[in-house]
Amino acid sequence: MRKTGFIIILIVGVIVLWGVSIYNGLVKQQEAMTTAWGQVENVYQRRADLVPNLVALVKNYTEYEQGTLIAVTEARAKAVRTTVNTEDFDEIEFSAFESAQNELGKSLNRLIVSVENYPDLKANEEYLTLQAQLAGCENRIQTERERFNEAAKTYNQSIRKFPSSLIAKPFGFERRPYFEAEAGAEKVPETF
């Protein structure tokens, strides 16, 4: 009788330790994803911080780009306002965040293209520095988005695989979204 009780306690203990181990592994992966998300937000914030300087500099040189400047300023304001709750990574919030950031990127590209009409501005050292910093931000944004997607992929795979799924569902570990290419990104842009 004692031997049977000991075996049952041992089996229950092993199962509990197994469950705790899986739970802790999922928490670790969730935290890695949250950390990666923090880096994504950091590089997007860096880009947003550069925009007012760029707008102010371009405003001093251009007379006819007010619509473009307003679009950039509005897109920046929207991008800064749009956030994602890292506790649940709601698909709708995530999509709105991604859309706002893409809109800011597009408006910045339109502004930089419009600067081509102003040779004095294009030669301005401050403008060249800001343009280089923005290009660096775009590269870091891409890198951090890829890192986030990798962390989300690892996490999403873990919560779906057996036997981890037995622990993930009851404890509320849910699938997280990925950054995706914009609709139409597969098409090659036309040149004029």
Provide the CATH number for the domain around residue 124. 1.20.1440.20
Assigned domain for 1 exists: no
Assigned domain for 89 exists: yes
Domain total for the chain?
1
**Within its chain, how far is the Cα of 65 from the centroid?**
30
Tokens of 3: 């031997």
Assigned domain for 178 exists: no
- If phi over 0 gives left and psi between -120 and 50 gives alpha, with beta otherwise, what is residue 89? left
* pLDDT tens sequence across 78-98: 999 998 888 877 888 889 999
Give me the pLDDT at residue 187, please.
56
Distances, alpha carbon 9 to alpha carbons 1, 5, 16, 18, 80, in Å: 12, 6, 10, 14, 54
Give me the pLDDT at residue 182, please.
66
Assigned domain for 192 exists: no
Assigned domain for 145 exists: yes
Give me the pLDDT at residue 184, please.
55
Q: 3-class DSSP state for residue 58?
A: helix
- Asked if residue 37 lies in contact with residue 84, where contact means CB atoms within 8 angstroms, the answer is yes
Entry pTM: 0.82
- Four-point Cα dihedral 13, 15, 16, 17, nearest 10: 80
Percentage of the chain lying above the pLDDT 70 cut? 93
Assigned domain for 12 exists: no
- From CA 61, how far away is CA 115, in angstroms rounded? 9
Q: Residue 141: give the domain boundaries.
A: 24-168
Q: Per-residue pLDDT averaged across 100-104, rounded? A: 93
- Asked if residue 141 lies in contact with residue 47, where contact means CB atoms within 8 angstroms, the answer is yes
* pLDDT tens sequence across 5-59: 889 999 999 999 999 999 999 999 999 999 999 999 999 999 999 999 888 888 8
Assigned domain for 112 exists: yes
Distances, alpha carbon 104 to alpha carbons 20, 78, 99, 165, 177, in Å: 43, 8, 9, 38, 21
Residue 131, CB-side half-sphere exposure with 13 Å CA sphere: 17
Assigned domain for 187 exists: no
